[in-house]
Amino acid sequence: MDPLNLEVATLEAVPPEFRKCYVQKEDGTGFKASEDYLGVVNTVNGLNKALGASREEAKKGKIDLSPLAEFGGTPAEIKENILAKITELEGKAKQTPDQKAQLESLRLQLQDSFGKEKDKLTTRATALQGQLYKHLVENQALSAITEAKGVPELLLPTIKALVRTEEADNGELVVRVLGADGQPRYNIDGSFMTVKGLVEELKADPKYGRVFESEHQQGGAGTPPNSTRKPTPPKTVLSSTDKISAGLAQGGFQRRAGFADSTKR
């Protein structure tokens, strides 16, 4: 919706639905906003300015409703108060049946325009929050799990359930590890627990420790983490000559010689 000028040379410069808000100037040089509808024109211009600022903020990844602060602090309050303002102006205007229809059309257009802008901003904010959550939570969690030699597919759901993002005092979004009461957890020194600290805690827990690679694990499936395996010495393969030599060294020749002498007798 383009801004409405308080004075125009011709009505062609005014959208058709707002032309009835203008009257011809006394000197006949153009048209100006009627005193009866001056408040409506100013409200439209203020809303256009605020919506334009909101679009620019949305492009930057932020939603700033401060230009509409006079109408409330939330989109719902702003919408309600703008419609109430239009209703008030309607009561002050000298209304003919045509003017009443025109004002109703204006009210519906403003309501529809603001609703669409609010939906766009809400969708944009949701998308940005999802991107920030993925960047802040998943990236930190994956980095900590990889460093601790854990299994991301098994640990990520647990970590996501134990953290949330919130706005810090400096306005930046940060990740907070939560306790059983839903409140941020702290380290002994009073600092906030990090995702890395949470992963280290899970690794030390008997329940979750099984999804981390043991630092003492030896090769081979099924080998206990702290067990040591003695290497099996290689078997010695003897040649025929070596076997005969070994037999002579053990006295086998004397036994065979005695058997031969006994057969002679």
Q: Is residue 238 part of a domain?
A: no
Q: Is residue 224 part of a domain?
A: no
Phi-psi region of 182 (alpha: psi -120 to 50; beta: other; left: phi over 0): left
Q: Are 114 and 27 in a shared domain? A: yes
Do 246 and 239 touch, CB atoms closer than 8 A?
no
Q: Are 16 and 91 in a shared domain? A: yes
> Residues 141-172: pLDDT tens digits?
888 999 999 999 999 999 989 988 887 788 77
Last residue in a domain, options 211, 245, 260: 211
Last residue in a domain, options 80, 97, 127: 127
Structure tokens at 79: 């919408």
User: pTM of whole model > 0.85?
Assistant: no
* Structural domain harbouring 186: 148-211
Q: Are 80 and 153 in a shared domain? A: no
Tally of domains in the chain: 2
> Residues 3-57: pLDDT tens digits?
677 888 988 888 777 788 888 998 988 998 887 777 777 777 676 676 666 666 6
Q: Are 72 and 156 in a shared domain? A: no
Alpha carbons 63 and 66: distance in angstroms, whole number:
9
Alpha carbons 51 and 111: distance in angstroms, whole number:
13
Beta strands 173-177 and 163-167 are antiparallel
Phi-psi region of 203 (alpha: psi -120 to 50; beta: other; left: phi over 0): alpha
Last residue in a domain, options 173, 188, 211: 211
Q: Is residue 114 part of a domain?
A: yes
Q: Is residue 173 part of a domain?
A: yes
